Amino acid sequence: MWNRFIEVATFWSCKFLARLFPPQPKPLPRQARLILVFSTTGLGDGLFDSAAICSLKLGHPEAKLIVCAHRKRQSVALHNPCVDEVVPFGKSPVRQLRLLWRFRRERPDLVVVLHVNEEVYPLAYWINRDAVVTFTNLSERYSFLAAHPVKVRDTQRAVILPLKVAQYAGGSAVPPRMVYEVKADELAALRVRFASWIDHPYVVFQTGGGRTLFWRDWPVEHYVTLIRWFSDRFAHKIILTGGVENVERAGAMERACPEVINLAGKTTLTETAALLHLAKMLLTTDTGIMHLGFAIGCPVVCLFHDLYPATDYCPLDKSARYVALQLTRSHPQQPPSARDMEGISCDEVKHAIDGMLECSR
């Protein structure tokens, strides 16, 4: 109840302030001095924004480009070579006041709002209301705070939407490719930590996604069947990955198949990225790790629920190596459930893995 009150009060306060001090859509700088990019939501969204960030840097090569990213997911921006500085974003008023205090003084002449939480819009408005550029496809609720709201009408592809905003703000044309560069010292640290097996061929099985969209997860029983088939057919080691929310699922798979190496809840995002860099293949449902695999260039077999079309989220880069399996329900309008993904059979996944590893030989 309290959170809802704060949300409503914030919205109408912003409405009132925007009437008193409306943002003016002044011409954007041809060569910006300081660019502040907000990209504060999930891992996948941060990767979708990575191409747009490169576009901005190439279009404004002399500018200092700062990315404000969620404090728990800064890794994506830190591994983008076009980013000059990363500052953490947090929802607490104290953190936001610190950001406001800093950037009101530094006064960026371009404020680009990409995939963000709603509380970012008032913050961007107060930093420099006449220089805010954002896209309104995902939400038009706070579009009145942006001097330059951009409606992208010709696509719903997750990488293209922020890229169109960047190009509106003076960014250069770049390939619509997610960016994440694994560093040499990270690979060296991984080799030390997992010295007993890291130089042997291995594949990564991502055991699930977040709790909110649990119905996108493939059943544990299907994973167990697949692991047993894979172990009989291939010499590769199987590495299980996942966050703390996947520890229970991964534990069930490990108990049924003791030959796996269970790293769920035991690696950082940076370490998982390094694992994918060296892996022969990633099997995953529609998760942030799937997008990380795409960005790194790991061969991916990905399983999609029918509420998330693979065509909107898979790479546009024709050199990308992936197989996307799309669930097809007979009644797609029904609310999603935890059993939906049973509709993608083990045989379909086996066939996709066979083809992927055959191509990698």
- pLDDT tens, residue by residue, 95-131: 889 999 999 999 999 999 999 988 899 999 999 999 9
Mean pLDDT of 331-336: 74
Under 8 Å between Cβ of 210 and 285 = no
Quick one: average pLDDT of 217-244? 96
Nearest to 102 by CA among 27, 34, 170: 34
Question: Does 317 score more than 90 pLDDT?
Answer: no
Q: Is 186 helix (H, G, I), strand (E, B) or coil?
A: helix
Q: What is the mean pLDDT of residues 169-192?
A: 96
> Mean pLDDT throughout 25-32?
91
Report the chain's mean pLDDT, rounded to a whole number.
Answer: 91
Is the sign of the CA dihedral 27, 149, 66, 78 positive or negative?
negative
Scanning the chain, the segments in alpha helix (DSSP H) are 2-20, 43-59, 75-78, 93-106, 120-128, 160-168, 184-193, 220-233, 247-256, 269-278, 288-296, 310-313, 346-360
pLDDT at 169: 95
Say yes or no to pLDDT of 4 above 80. no
Residue 276, classed as helix, strand or coil, is helix
The token pair at 231 is 């172990």
Whether the pLDDT of residue 208 is over 90: the answer is: yes
> Integer distance in angstroms from the first to the last C-alpha of the chain?
57
What's the pLDDT at 73? 85
Distance CA 314, CA 302 (A): 9
Q: How far apart are CA 122 and CA 165, in angstroms?
A: 19
Q: Which H/E stretch holds residue 238?
A: strand 237-241
Give the pLDDT band (50/70/90) at residue 89.
Answer: very high
The answer, yes or no, to whether residue 198 has pLDDT greater than 90, is: yes
Q: Which tens digits make up the pLDDT trace of 251-300?
A: 999 999 999 999 999 999 999 999 999 999 999 999 999 999 999 999 99
> For the residues 73-88, what does the mean pLDDT come to?
96
Of 44-58, 151-165, 226-240, the one with minimum mean pLDDT is: 151-165
Question: What pLDDT, on the 0 to 100 scale, is given for residue 1?
Answer: 65
Look at 332 and 213; give whichever has higher pLDDT.
Answer: 213
The yes-or-no verdict on residue 202 having pLDDT over 90 is: yes
- Per-residue pLDDT, averaged over 27-45, amounts to 94
Mean pLDDT of 240-258: 96
